[in-house]
């Protein structure tokens, strides 16, 4: 049996809040062997990151505290240690890669200074020795010109390079345990593939145990030996990865898996989980998933299911697998949702061209010197041709920095292009004066990647949505505008009373719905979706994709879908354009691009996608309700 690096026993991490005690982690247990990878998955708010912060002993005190359980690292319980002893363990024995490297790296220090600080603090090396070790680690994580990057500041590096710097810092002291908290969420598939391969190579070389926290279930399937599915502070299911994906036992796990988009689900609605994760201050007394579960029974909310072994090495906390519970009268079903998902097809006949882009170029001047003379140009978009048909979705894919977002903003005239033609509904837009663009603005809208930063925190949702209506729909009076706000909120699955709240009072998925409502309020015909679902949980992502498809079906909208998530493209797009270094290198229908890519870059992108075995999808069935079994 392999050596156990970390063992978590009944961990409880609670927080004192004005609304009572928040039981963010409420009795979680698992272990990771030397060189092993344990994946922790679940929706936002289920306690994954708090579990990770508990292990590395970074829970903010005094509000947060470990209320019970043990964290045993190399046969030593680290919970009762002094703060000084815990500080010695961080970096040396446990390191963590955080989700967003830009907020984790200090912007006023070079990346070299930041890794040297770690090495000198934990390894006791001199400055020269630490610098040599840092450059060696930069080289090991695949950074170009390691000696030059040593002197760079974080803002001068790309997202993938910053993430590699974070990995270098985390691995600099060769820790026993590496915690990777959503290490690839915002990265392109090619960079994601490189990062995961890098972690696995270093893991094999150093024997490091890895705790992988992610919502990318295909990534989990390909890289983890064991998976823990976490829900509302507790472990819902715990099993070897292959067994869990082959035969998921908990309804929550099944719903998560069936939320994953892909080619085999085209034309159907994605499975979604109704409601949201309950607040940690008011969990149900029984099963925490009760109220959202498609197989809920009368006793579920009152009686807590134990995490019990239902098959060899396969644990699930669900009453449906407990013969004793099922024999009782309280096992009567409250609801029984259908197992099959309804069709959600959008007819794709010979549609007329809504938008035609010809030889579009958007160049940015590079200025230097005291007089800021132009010494060159950044060719962000360098002569692209696109066609978007009415009622269809064109996906624009490619790595970060290839010009996708600039192209989208240029098309809707948020950025005035350098040259080229943009013909929308027969009208050429590049020659239209800014003052004359107003009638077009209501027909062309954009949904941004981060809804929180694109919503004004000082405006209510009503004011946010009404702002565009007031500017572009001048014929509506006050009552008409209010009716419009109510209409679009209900169309995106929110309620009218929510219009009086502020952005911070909503979840990420709800804020994205607000962004969609704001775009719909002015009755557009064409919407640019700029990474609109990239940072969302798979369950919330499924809700947003279903919403976009149903809106397209009902209103005949056209989408330019900018994304690096090729599984989403395979599910939602009719046509695909692959962009590289400002140019379109390949175009075609989704089927043509995914089944028979011609360009080497497209082949590289597709080969980097983490995939599930196609035969698994048909095996994801909700457990049946069989009383008295």
End-to-end CA distance of the chain, in Å?
36
**Residue 348: per-residue pLDDT:** 55
Same domain membership, residue 184 and residue 135: no
- Segments forming the whole domain that contains residue 136: 104-174
Q: What is the pLDDT of residues 430-463, one digit of tens each?
A: 988 888 888 888 899 999 877 777 889 999 999 9
> Are residue 134 and residue 210 in the same domain, yes or no?
no
Residue 409 lies in a domain: no
Q: Are residues 155 and 233 in the same domain?
A: no
* Helix, strand, coil % over all residues of the chain, rounded to 5: 35, 25, 40
Task: Look up residue 101 and give its two tokens.
Answer: 């490297």
Report residues of the chain scoring pLDDT below 70: 1-2, 101-102, 186, 339-350, 535, 628-629
Same-domain status, 63 and 156:
no
Residue 8 lies in a domain: yes
- For residue 241, CA distances in Å to 198, 217, 224, 237, 246 come to 21, 10, 6, 11, 9
| DSSP string across 606-617 | HHTS----GGGG
Based on the fold, state whether residues 240 and 327 are members of the same structural domain: yes
Q: Do 151 and 188 sit in the same domain of this protein? A: no
Residue 88 CB partners (closer than 8 Å, separation 6+): 122
Please count the other Cβ atoms lying within 10 Å of the Cβ belonging to residue 622.
20
Rounded CA-CA distance 119/122 in Å is 5
Query: Residue holding tokens 């509302």?
Result: 232
* Torsion angles phi and psi, residue 497, rounded to 5: -70, -15
In a domain, 300, yes or no: yes
Nearest by Cα to 114 from 169, 162, 42, 173: 169
Sequence-distant (≥ 6) Cβ neighbours of residue 159 within 8 angstroms: 101, 102, 186, 187, 191, 400
- Is-contact 452 100, C-beta < 8 A? no
Answer yes or no: is 5 within a domain: yes
Domain assignment present for 433:
no
Q: What is the 3-state secondary structure (H, E, C) of 487-542?
A: HHHHHCCCCHHHHHCCHHHCCHHHHHHHHHHHHHCCCCCEEEEECCCCCCCHHHHH
170 and 136 co-located in one domain: yes
Of 155, 174, 193, at which residue does a domain stop? Answer: 174
State the DSSP H helix or E strand holding residue 140, giving kind and residue range, or none if neither: helix 127-140
Residue 224: partners with Cβ closer than 8 Å, 6 or more residues away: 37, 38, 39, 212, 241
Whether residues 181 and 160 share a domain: the answer is no
The pTM for the full model equals 0.87
Both tokens of 541, joined, read: 């992502």
Q: Is residue 90 a contact partner of residue 56, using CB atoms and an 8 Å limit?
A: yes
In the listed set 174, 200, 233, which residue is the last one of a domain according to the structure? 174
Cα distance between residue 482 and residue 463, in whole Å: 10
Q: What is the pLDDT of residue 186?
A: 64
Contact call for residues 252 and 229 (beta carbons, < 8 A): yes
Query: Tell me, what's the pLDDT at 340?
Result: 63
Q: Spell out the residues 6+ positions from residue 400 whose beta carbon is closer than 8 angstroms to its own.
A: 158, 159, 160, 187, 188, 191, 564
* 398 and 580 Cβ atoms separated by less than 8 Å: yes
The strand order across the sheet containing 419-424 reads 373-389, 353-368, 419-424, 427-428
Sheet with 444-447: strands ordered across: 444-447, 526-530, 558-563, 393-397, 575-580, 583-589
* DSSP codes, 268-330: BPPP---S-PPPTTS--SS-TTTTT-TT-BTTTTTSPPP-EEEETTEEE--GGG-HHHHTSGG
Sheet holding 226-231, edge to edge: 94-97, 177-181, 209-213, 37-41, 226-231, 234-240, 314-316, 308-311
Specify if 487 maps to a domain. no
- Residue of 154, 155, 159, 135 lying closest to 146 (CA atoms): 135
What are the two backbone dihedrals, phi and then psi, of residue 168, each rounded to the nearest 5 degrees?
-60, -45
CATH assignment of the domain containing 296: 3.40.50.300
Q: Where are the alpha helices (DSSP H) in 344-477?
A: 404-411, 438-441, 451-454, 461-472
CA angle 151, 182, 66 (to 5 degrees): 105
> Is 423 domain-assigned?
no
Residues 156 and 299 in one domain: no
Residue among 13, 592, 541 at smallest CA distance from 270: 541
Looking at residue 18, the DSSP 8-state letter turns out to be T
Which of the listed residues 153, 174, 195 is the one where a domain comes to its end? 174
Cis previous bond, 363, omega within 30: no
Q: What is the 3-state secondary structure (H, E, C) of 147-175?
A: HHHCCCCHHHCCHHHHHHHHHHHHHCCCC
In a domain, 553, yes or no: no
pLDDT for the residue 367: 84
Query: How many domains in the chain?
Result: 2
As a dihedral over the C-alpha atoms of residue 231, residue 234, residue 236, residue 242, rounded to 10 degrees, the angle is: 90
Residue with tokens 């040593």: 150
**Cβ 578 vs Cβ 585: under 8 Å:** yes
| pLDDT value at residue 198 | 82
Q: Based on the fold, state whether residues 296 and 214 are members of the same structural domain.
A: yes
Residues 28 and 114 in one domain: no
Q: Is 5 left (phi over 0), alpha (psi -120 to 50) or beta?
A: alpha
Indicate whether 157 and 180 sit together in one domain. Answer: no
């Amino acid at each position: 049996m392999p050596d156990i690096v970390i063992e978590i026993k009944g961990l409880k991490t609670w927080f004192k809040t004005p609304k009572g005690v928040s039981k963010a982690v409420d009795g979680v247990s698992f272990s990771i062997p030397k060189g092993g990878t344990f994946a922790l998955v679940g929706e936002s708010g289920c306690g994954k990151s708090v579990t990770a912060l508990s292990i590395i002993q970074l829970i903010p005190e005094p509000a947060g505290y470990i209320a019970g359980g043990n964290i045993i690292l190399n046969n030593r319980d680290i919970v009762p240690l002094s703060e000084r002893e815990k500080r010695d363990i961080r970096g040396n024995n446990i390191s963590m890669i955080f989700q967003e490297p830009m907020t984790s790296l200090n912007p006023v220090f070079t990346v070299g200074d930041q890794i040297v600080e770690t090495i000198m603090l934990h390894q006791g090396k001199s400055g020269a020795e630490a610098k040599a070790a840092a450059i060696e680690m930069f080289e090991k994580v695949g950074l170009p010109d390691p000696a030059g990057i040593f002197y760079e500041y974080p803002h001068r590096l790309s997202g993938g390079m910053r993430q590699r710097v974070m990995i270098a810092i985390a691995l600099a002291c060769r820790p026993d345990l590496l915690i990777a908290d959503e290490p690839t969420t915002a990265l392109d598939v090619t960079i994601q593939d490189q990062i995961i391969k890098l972690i696995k190579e270093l893991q094999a070389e150093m024997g490091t145990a890895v705790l992988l926290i992610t919502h990318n279930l295909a990534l989990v399937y390909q890289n983890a030996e064991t998976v823990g599915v976490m829900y509302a502070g507790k472990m819902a299911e715990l099993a070897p990865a292959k067994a869990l994906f082959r035969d998921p036992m908990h309804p929550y796990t099944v719903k998560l898996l069936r939320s994953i988009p892909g080619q085999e689900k085209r034309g159907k609605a994605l499975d979604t989980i109704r409601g949201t994760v309950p607040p940690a201050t008011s969990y149900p007394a029984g099963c925490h998933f009760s109220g959202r579960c498609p197989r809920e029974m009368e006793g579920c909310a009152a009686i807590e299911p134990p995490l019990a072994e239902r098959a060899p090495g396969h644990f699930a906390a669900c009453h449906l697998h407990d013969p004793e519970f099922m024999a009782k009268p309280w096992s009567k079903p409250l609801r029984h949702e259908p197992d099959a998902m309804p069709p959600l097809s959008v007819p794709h006949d010979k549609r007329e061209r809504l938008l035609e882009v010809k030889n579009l170029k958007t160049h940015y001047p590079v200025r230097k010197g005291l007089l800021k003379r132009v010494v060159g140009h950044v060719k962000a978009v360098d002569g692209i041709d696109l066609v978007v048909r009415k009622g269809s979705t064109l996906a624009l894919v490619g790595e970060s920095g290839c010009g996708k977002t600039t192209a989208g903003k240029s098309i809707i005239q948020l950025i005035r292009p350098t040259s080229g033609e943009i013909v929308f509904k027969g009208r050429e837009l590049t020659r239209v004066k800014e003052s004359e663009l107003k009638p077009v603005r209501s027909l062309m809208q954009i949904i941004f990647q981060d809804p929180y930063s694109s919503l004004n925190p000082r405006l209510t949702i009503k004011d946010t949505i009404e702002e565009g209506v007031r500017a572009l729909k001048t014929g509506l009076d006050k009552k008409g505008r209010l009716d419009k706000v109510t209409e679009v909120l209900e169309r995106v699955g929110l309620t009218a009373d929510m219009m009086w709240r502020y952005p911070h009072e909503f979840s990420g998925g709800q804020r994205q719905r607000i962004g969609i409502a704001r775009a719909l309020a002015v009755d557009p015909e064409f919407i640019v979706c700029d990474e609109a679902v990239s940072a969302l949980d798979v369950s919330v992502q499924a809700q947003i994709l279903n919403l976009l498809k149903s809106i397209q079906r009902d209103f005949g909208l056209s989408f330019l879908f900018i994304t690096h998530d090729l599984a989403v493209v395979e599910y939602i797009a009719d046509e695909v354009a692959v962009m590289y270094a400002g140019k379109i290198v390949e175009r075609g229908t989704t089927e043509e691009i995914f089944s028979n890519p011609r360009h080497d870059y497209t082949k590289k992108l597709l080969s980097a996608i983490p995939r599930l075995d196609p035969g698994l999808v048909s095996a994801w069935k909700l457990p049946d309700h069989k009383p008295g079994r």
